[in-house]
Amino acid sequence: MSFQTVLVRGTGLLGTSIGLGLRASGKEVWLSDPSQVAVSIAADIGAGRVWNDERHPDLVVVAAPPEATAEEVHRALVRHPEAIVVDIASVKGSVLDELRQFPGETDLTRYVGTHPMAGRERSGPVAARGALFTSMPWVICPHEDVAEETVAAAEELARLLGASLHRMTPAQHDGSVALISHLPQVAASLVASRLQNAPQQALGLSGNGLRDVTRIAASDPNLWVQILTYNAPAVLEILYGLREDVNQLIGTLEAPRAPGGQADIAQLIAEGNAGVARIPGKHGSPPQSFTVVTVIVDDRPGQIAALLNDVAEIGTNVEDMRMDHSAGHEVGMVELSVLPGRAEELAQALTHIGWKVVLT
C-alpha cells in the first residue's frame, strides 16, 4: 500500500518543507498546526491545504518539537485509525517510551519513528524549501511492534523527498546522533562559550581552525535543550568518556615533563587522527585525503568564478572548496581540494595562466 493523502501536523521549517516536497511529487497534503498563523503561511506558500476535521489521511507526519511529539503521535493514531503515523523528531527512543506509557491500547503497528537529518539556520514555515532533504540522510527506526507496511510508507516518504535512506533501531539511532551530532554540538558550544570574555586582541588571531570548531555553536538554545534532555542517557555515556579524557589531559599538563607525559599527549592527538580518518568522504565513499591547492584572489566579485572557470578548463574536479578569512587584508585564499594525483598539474597550470598559487 502506498499513500496518496498526507496530513502534516506541525508547519515549522521541517513540516512545511515536507509539505512542499510532497506536493511537488503529486501527493495531496493537508496542514495543521497549533498556530493558525503558521498553518496559514504554510498553506499560502503552497505546502498544502489547511486541514479540516472531517478528512482522514493515509499518512500523518508529526513534525512537532521533541517534547510534543509523543502526544501528537498518540493523538493521530487514535483520531485516524486507518492511517500510518510517522514522526520526525531528532531523538527516537524516548519518544517511543513515552508512547508506550499512554493508558489504554495504542496501535503501534501503524507508527514508526524517523529522523530526517536536515535543517538550516532560519526556522518557521517561511524558511521552508521542498528540496531541504535532497541527498541528506533520513533515518528510519523500526521498533518491535511495527508493521512492515508502516516502515515501507516511511521509506517511500523519505525517498519521495530525495533523501538518503538509513535504517536503525531507536537505540542505535540515539547512540549514533549522540556521537556524530550531539557531541560536536556540545563541544562547539563549550569552546565558543570560553570566547565570551576573551580579550579582543586574542580574537583578532582567530583562524579557520577556531571558526570550524565553533561554527555550529550558533545553534538554537530552545531546540537543543529538548534534544539533549530527550537523549540524555546516550549523550551522558559519551560525556563520561570525554570527562575522563579531559581529566587525563589536565593531569598530564600539570606535570608535562613527568615520565610518560609527552606520550600521553601524543596519544590523544594520534587518537584524534585515527577518529577523524574514519569520517566517510563525499557520496559515502571511503574516507579519502585530498590535496589542497591554495590560490590567492582579490576580494571582488567574479574573481572566484574566474578561478573556477580556469580550473574547469584545466579539467580538474574540485572535491571541496573553502575560503580562508584573514584579518586585515583585502585578499582571500581559496583552498581547492582535489585528488592527490591532480594537484601538481593543477597548480602548474594555474600558475602558468597567472594565478598566485600558494600551496600545492
**Gap between the Cα atoms of 136 and 115, Å rounded:** 11
State the minimum distance, in angstroms, from the CB of residue 331 to a copy of itself: 6
Residue 109 or 164: which CB sits closer to a copy of itself? 164
State the minimum distance, in angstroms, from the CB of residue 274 to a copy of itself: 5
Residue 78 or 255: which CB sits closer to a copy of itself? 255
The one-letter code for the residue type at 57 is: P
Residue 58 or 310: which CB sits closer to a copy of itself? 310
Side-chain half-sphere CA neighbours of 101 within 13 A: 8
State the minimum distance, in angstroms, from the CB of residue 289 to a copy of itself: 8
**Gap between the Cα atoms of 132 and 341, Å rounded:** 34
State the minimum distance, in angstroms, from the CB of residue 86 to a copy of itself: 18
Cβ-based neighbours of 204, under 8 Å, separated by 6 or more: 327
Coil/strand/helix, residue 298: strand
Coil/strand/helix, residue 182: helix
DSSP sequence for 1-52: ----EEEEE--SHHHHHHHHHHHHTT-EEEEE-S-HHHHHHHHHTTS-EE--
Residue 34 or 315: which CB sits closer to a copy of itself? 315
**Gap between the Cα atoms of 73 and 96, Å rounded:** 10
State the minimum distance, in angstroms, from the CB of residue 246 to a copy of itself: 5
Residue 33 or 310: which CB sits closer to a copy of itself? 310
State the minimum distance, in angstroms, from the CB of residue 150 to a copy of itself: 21
- Tell me the torsion sign for CA atoms 328, 329, 334, 335: negative
**Gap between the Cα atoms of 5 and 60, Å rounded:** 9
Residue 103 or 274: which CB sits closer to a copy of itself? 274
